[in-house]
Amino acid sequence: MAFLGKTVLITGATGNVGSSAVKEFLEQGANVIATSRSKSSLEKLTSKLQEISVPTEKLIPIVVDISNDQELSKIADQIRDKTLPEIDHVISSSGPWWKYDHLYDVTFEQWNEVMSANVNPHFITYRNFIPFLLNKPGSSYTLVTGASGLVDVIGNIPSGITGISQCVLFGISRVARFETKDNAVRFNELLIGFRIEDDATYKKYISEGKFSESSDIVTTSWKFGSIFLSIAKDNNVKGEVIKIMSTTEKDDFEKVHKFK
């Protein structure tokens, strides 16, 4: 168990990406602080993990709105006063997909809603938890972004308002990688450019013939999370943008950066 005695904080823990990280770190013996806005989603995640025999004794589910700085700062206070275990790794993974036809049709209320869901949580997570890791040897912080902000992947321009929010995250990543380059923490951006579905949806797509099991552009959540182990464990992975656009690229990265 490579992460025995370590603690990982994972935001967006009930999403397809976040839950994949929760699974892998629990299997490697880590304490996992898993945050979500929804208590029922955390309970559902726990049940799913238990169904596939993942130990959940070290899972610490916390219901919190990570777009609310005051709420998230309370978790940081609990770490400081030892109510929660000291953290060694952070995975910032949150943000749904929003689709509007034209930017000029987006209302200011919609704009704020997207930024509140896709951008603010990552900034708030960073400002509250990076101080715990700055001077901690072996620590890591992984910011998860998506390909909707990439010109070379999503047609001629970034994909709508979601693409704009991802471009903001690219900026946060650039600044964070620069300002932590001389610290012990290893800050990295994981940019995901292919589909990651929950296990049930993935199996449904396969059975319906929408994808084959050998498809390079879609995978199940339960198979994806191992990449977080490689990023967190390899001390040579620091200040990088790790662009993973297919299952092949994920497998190739893990061959080079083995976590064991």
**pLDDT 10s digits, 23-40:** 999 999 999 999 999 999
The distance from CA 231 to its chain's CA centroid, rounded to whole angstroms, is: 12
pLDDT at position 161 is 87
Query: How wide is the angle at C-alpha 20 spanned by C-alphas 169 and 34, nearest 5°?
Result: 75
pLDDT at position 96 is 78
What average pLDDT does the structure give for the chain?
A: 92
pLDDT at position 157 is 53
pLDDT at position 206 is 87
Q: Is 70 exceeded by the pLDDT of residue 73?
A: yes
Q: 241 CB contacts (<8 Å, ≥6 apart)?
A: 173, 177, 188, 189, 191
When pLDDT is averaged across residues 36-51 and rounded to a whole number, the result is 96
Q: Where are the beta strands (DSSP E) in the chain?
A: 7-11, 31-36, 59-63, 89-92, 140-146, 186-192, 195-197, 218-220, 241-244
Domains present along the chain, CATH in parentheses: 7-256 (3.40.50.720)
Single out the residue of 87, 93, 83, 81 nearest to residue 3, CA to CA: 87
pLDDT tens track for 195-237: 899 888 988 988 888 888 888 889 999 999 999 999 999 999 9
Residues of the chain above pLDDT 90, percent: 77
Beta bridge pairs of residue 243: 191
Helical segments of 134-237, H only: 160-179, 199-207, 221-224, 226-233
pLDDT tens track for 144-199: 999 888 865 545 555 688 889 999 999 999 999 999 999 999 999 999 999 899 88
pLDDT at position 155 is 53
pLDDT at position 156 is 52
pLDDT at position 118 is 93
How far CA 73 is from CA of 76, 120, 136, 213, 228, in Å, comes to: 5, 14, 20, 42, 25
Q: Are 187 and 239 in contact (CB under 8 A)?
A: yes
pLDDT at position 150 is 82
Cα-trace Rg, the chain: 18
Axis crossing angle, helix 120-133 with helix 108-118, rounded to the nearest 10: 30
